[in-house]
A and B are shown apart, each in its own frame.
Chain A
């Protein structure tokens, strides 16, 4: 197995782990953590394609990772603030108990 395929397989595994956590855990904080893991798996793909791609001097994948890290930081801050606000309102952070807006 060559290095690029190895990176992509590791990234796919990490994405699957994050997805499994995001859809199966009860705690809203761990749902957010699973989403962060999926974002990180995508970042690993960008780095791998930048490193083994045809034109590494252009730094395209590299810059994408820098911007993705900044967006993920903002997303985590807003997401955790939302979870704290919901906890204050509903007294729980269990996503299967927050059913007020269930259709």
Chain B
């Protein structure tokens, strides 16, 4: 455990906690971006350059922007009059603490997480990653491509405004009055 790892971990955790406790949703989205960027630097620190850069591109570049768009589209940036936490938040906190306690207990008592010798960082070249993706993991790669296409079409269909129904309801009263 080195000093850079500790600093990055603290940054990530601070971003995560801030994103879940701040009052205004836009500030929460900014803190969430800090947490995602901190995670990307943690991956880089652990020697997974490609995963870190993919995390930076996908999370900081795309998902953070999507979340900000959703906040602005649902008018979440306005000041909320009541509490931002749900009425049953105490139970949720207890559950989260219990989950953390169980996970920490499992980490501390297990034998495999305390290796005697720490191996050096494995060299991962882009060529090796590409060959692994194209040889051993080619079927998951194709499935993920199909799933991303389906998700994109599904998101557009879900979020698109249904103009046809609105015009129908707009026409209906006129037709009724003509009948009447």
Partner-B contacts on A (CB < 8 A)? 1-10, 12-21, 23-27, 29-30, 32-34, 36-37, 40, 43-44, 47-48, 50-52, 56-57, 59, 62-63, 65-67, 69-78, 80-85, 87-88, 93, 95-96
Contacts and interface: CB of A to CB of B under 8 A. Distances in A.
Q: Tell me the dominant secondary structure on chain B's binding face.
A: helix
Interface of B: 1-2, 5-6, 9, 12-13, 16-17, 19-21, 25, 28-29, 32, 35-36, 39, 42-43, 46-48, 50-51, 54-55, 58-59, 62-63, 66-67, 69-71, 73-74, 76, 80, 83-89, 91-93, 95-97, 99-100, 103-104, 107-108, 113-115, 118-119, 121-122, 124, 128-129, 132-133, 137, 140, 144, 147-148, 151-152, 154-156, 158-159, 161
11 contacts: A16-B96, A19-B99, A24-B89, A29-B74, A47-B51, A65-B48, A70-B144, A84-B74, A84-B158, A87-B73, A88-B161
Given A21-B20, A77-B151, A26 B84 contact: yes
Contacts of A10: 9, 12-13, 42
B61 to A, nearest CB: 10
A68 B95 CA distance: 25
Q: Tell me the dominant secondary structure on chain A's binding face.
A: helix
Contacts of A44: 39, 42-43
